[in-house]
Structure 1
Amino acid sequence: MGSDSDLPSMAAAIAICEEFGVAHEVAIISAHRTPERMVDYAQNAHLRGLKVIIAGAGGAAHLPGMVASLTPLPVIGVPVSSRHLQGVDSLYSIVQMPRGIPVATVAIGNAQNAGLLAVQILASHQPELLQQVLNYRQTLKQSVLDKQQRLEQLGYSQYLQEQQEQHSG
C-alpha cells in the first residue's frame, strides 16, 4: 500500500488471504516518497517467490501502475477512497494504464475482491486452492438462497425492518 492510511481499506485483502491460507506479505511502499524501494520491491518480487501483487493507493494512485511497469507478475490495483474525490481520482489513475502495462482493477475500496482475484489467480495452478474457491462460491450462493427463503417467509416489510434493525444496532 502507498501509505499506512490505506491499511483500513487493504485489510479486507489481507483477511481473504488469511481465510484461504495464502501466504502473503504486507508492506508500505510509496511510489512518491520511497521510489527506490518501490523499484527494488517490484523488480525482485518474482525472484522472492511472489506470484501476484495487490497494490492499493489513494489520490494520484501511482503505486499499482508503477509496480506493474516494473514486474512480470500480475498486479491488482485497489483504488483507495480519498477525502476530496472519494476515490474516483484513484480509480481513474489505476485503470488508465498504457497498452502493454495491464493492471487488473477492482472497485473503489474493494480490497476484498482484490484478495479474491489474487486467490483465483493462484488457484488456477493449485487444485486444493481451487476447491476452496469453489466452496467459497457455494457459500455465497447459499447465502443468497437463505435470504430469499427468509424474505418469502417474512414478507418484504418485515424483512426490511429486520435488515434495518441489524444495521442500526
Structure 2
Amino acid sequence: MVPKVMIILGSASDKEIAEKSIKILEKLQIPYSLKVASAHRTHDKVKKLVIDATNLGVEVFIGIAGLAAHLPGAIAAYTHRPVIGVPVDGAIGGLDALYACVQMPFPTAVTTVGINRGDNAAILAGEIIASYDDAVKERISDLRLEYQEKVESGEKELIESIEGEFFQKDFLTGENYEKIEFKELPDTPDVIILAGSYSDMEISKNVAILLERMQIEYKLDYISPIRHAKDFESYMSKRNNAKLFIAISGLSALVAGSVVALTEKPVIGVPCSKKLDGQDALLTMANMPPGVPVGTVGIDNGRNAAIVAGEILGISNKTIEENLKWIKYENADL
C-alpha cells in the first residue's frame, strides 16, 4: 500500500516530535511512512525520496527539522504536493527553525505549524485528506471533539481543586453553551479568502491572481472577528462547506485563529507586516495550540498561500494539478 503521508525527519533525534504525528495519524487511520534524511548531509536521498514518493502517490509530506531547518523547503522543491513544516526547538527556542520553514520564496511553499507541534502537522494533513475523503473527515470531527472535551475536563478538575473562601464555585456551571448552527450555502466555492482589513487588499489580490491561473473557484471577503464578532460567526456558518480557507491578517492575527476555531477544514494563514515587521502575526498564527492548526506561510506571501491551496486541491483535481505544476516548474517568475 502506498502511504498517504510521508514523514521525513532531519535527524533521528527528532523522534519525539515525530511520535506526536504518528499518534494522530494512527487515530485518524491514515497510512503513513517515516524516513530520516538530512537536507544538508544526505541531500540526494531527500531528492530521490520525495520524487519517488510523489510519483507513487504520496499526497502529503511532513518535514520535521530543527536549527537551520531547510528540510521542509528541500522537500517542497521536489514535489507539487502539500508540504507541512514542523520546526523543532534545537536552539533559541526553535525560532531559527520556524523562520527557516515558513519564510520560503514563491512558488516553493511550506505550510508551517508551531514549534514542536508534530500533532498539529498530522491534524493538518488529516484535514487536507478529509477534503476528499469522508471517512477521514468524520474522524477529524471526532478528534476535534476529544480536544474540546479535554478542555472541559481540565476546567472541572481545576475548579474542584480550588478551596478559596470567596470562590463562587457554582457560578455559571452546567451551562449548555449555544452551538453555532451551520447553514451552508450551496454555491460556496472551493476556497474562501478572508482578510480582516481592507489594508490587506494587496496581499489578497496576489492570492486571487494565482487562484485564477490555476482555475480554482474562490471568494474574497473582508470581515473582522473583532469589529464584527456576530457577523463573523454567521459568515463562517454559511461558508463552512468551502474546501479550505486562506486567512490574511496582521497584528494579533485573530482572523486566522477565529477561522480555525469555527471550521474543521484546512486553514492557511498569511501573516501581514503591519507592526514588528509581521513577526507578531507570524508567531501567533503558527504557534496555535494542539488540535487547531493554522498552516502558516511567510510574511506577506499571499502567493505561496495560493500555491498551497493548489497543492491541496490538486490532489483530487487533475486540471488544478496541471496548472499548479505549470506555475511551479515552468513559470516561477509569474
Q: TM-score range by the shorter chain?
A: 0.7 to 0.9
Q: Note the 1:122-133 alignment, pairs <5 A.
A: 122-133=129-140
Which of the residues 82, 85, 92 maps onto 2:99? 92
Say which SS state the counterpart of residue 79 (structure 1) adopts.
strand
What letter is aligned with 2:18?
Answer: M
Structure 1 or 2, whichever has the larger Rg, is 2
Q: Which has the higher strand share?
A: 2
1:100-124 alpha-carbon deviations (Å, 9 max, x no partner)? 1111111111111001111111111
Q: Identify the residue that residue 6 of structure 1 maps to in structure 2.
A: 14
Which of the residues 85, 91, 100 maps onto 1:77? 85
Q: Identify the residue that residue 15 of structure 1 maps to in structure 2.
A: 23
Q: Identify the residue that residue 54 of structure 1 maps to in structure 2.
A: 62
Structure-1 separation of matches of 2:163 and 2:73: 45
What letter is aligned with 1:6?
Answer: D
TM-score relative to the length of structure 1? 0.86
Deviation at 1:66, TM superposition (A): 1.1
1:138 aligns with 2:138: no
1:7-33 alpha-carbon deviations (Å, 9 max, x no partner)? 122211111111211110110011111
Structure-2 separation of matches of 1:97 and 1:51: 20
Say which SS state the counterpart of residue 76 (structure 1) adopts.
strand
Structure-2 separation of matches of 1:134 and 1:87: 30
1:68 aligns with 2:71: no
Say which SS state the counterpart of residue 27 (structure 1) adopts.
strand
Segments of 4+ moved more than 2 angstroms = 145-157
Query: Where in structure 1 are there 5+ consecutive unaligned residues?
Result: 158-169
Q: Which has the higher helix share?
A: 1
Residue range with higher mean Cα deviation, 89-98 or 3-12: 3-12
Say which SS state the counterpart of residue 25 (structure 1) adopts.
strand
Greater RCO (Cα-Cα under 8 Å, separation 6 or more): 1
Deviation at 1:147, TM superposition (A): 2.8
Count the aligned residue pairs: 156
Deviation at 1:156, TM superposition (A): 7.0
Deviation at 1:154, TM superposition (A): 4.4
TM-score relative to the length of structure 2? 0.45
Structure-2 separation of matches of 1:105 and 1:67: 13
